[in-house]
Amino acid sequence: MVFGRGERGREPADEPLTLKILVAGGFGVGKTTMVGAVSEIRPLRTEESLTEAGRPVDDTAGVEGKRTTTVAMDFGRITLREDLVLYLFGTPGQNRFWFLWDELAQGALGAVVLADTRRLEDCFSAIDYFERRGIPFAVAVNCFEGTRAHPVEVVRDALDLDELVPILLCDARNRESAKDVLIALVSHAMHRATEQRQHATT
């Protein structure tokens, strides 16, 4: 899939800008839920049931009620404006599916890293992945019911994040909340792209 301007044959003014966004994070953090909540089309899901055979490699501590897992990706689409469409790709959370990440990351404008403060260490690998590859990302703290709320700056310190990286509190089940996260990410990524172009010309 090519991400840029829309279909051939349309007038340039009518072509929406299409952007690829990843939704990443640890196992059971709410990636599939977020893609499904915000997508304007029926999301494509590649979920399989968790089995006893997978227990040695799938750490379900803290998400004991989880019965399925993404084994390839989730896919959804949202139109932010008439001229701006986002294609969302939810990544699998377990380490054994990380070989898919490089392919999913190709052509991505940026990524949302979902975090659960009860298992904050589960998002370290995703953050490290995007930092190493220079892919802009925002951290969205999924506020699960019954979970203690932590101030954004406390989360930033715990994750050792640069002050420019957006951190938002969200409810991955809520369309408007998830949409706010995506808007913040797109704004951050485009700002970074503008800065990089300016540095390249000076």
The domain defined by 12-200 folds into Rossmann fold (3.40.50)
- Burial state string for 147-175 with b = 16 or more CB within 10 A and e = fewer than 16: eeeeeeeebeeebebeeebbbbbbbbeee
- Which tens digit of pLDDT belongs to each residue from 68-120? 555 458 999 999 999 999 999 999 866 666 678 899 999 999 999 999 999 99
Contact 180, 34 (CB under 8 A): no
Given a contact cutoff of 8 angstroms between Cβ atoms, the answer to whether 85 and 19 are in contact is: yes
Dig out the tokens for 45 from the structure.
């899901």
Instruction: Assess whether pLDDT exceeds 60 at residue 63.
Output: no
* pLDDT computed for residue 6 by the predictor: 55
Mean pLDDT for the chain?
84
**Residue 27, pLDDT above cutoff 70:** yes
pLDDT of 17 reads 95
Using 50, 70 and 90 to split pLDDT, how confident is the model at 202?
confident
What is the average pLDDT across 146-174?
A: 94
Q: How far apart are CA 109 and CA 130, in angstroms?
A: 11
C-alpha distances in Å from residue 119, one per residue of 25, 59, 124, 155:
11, 11, 10, 12
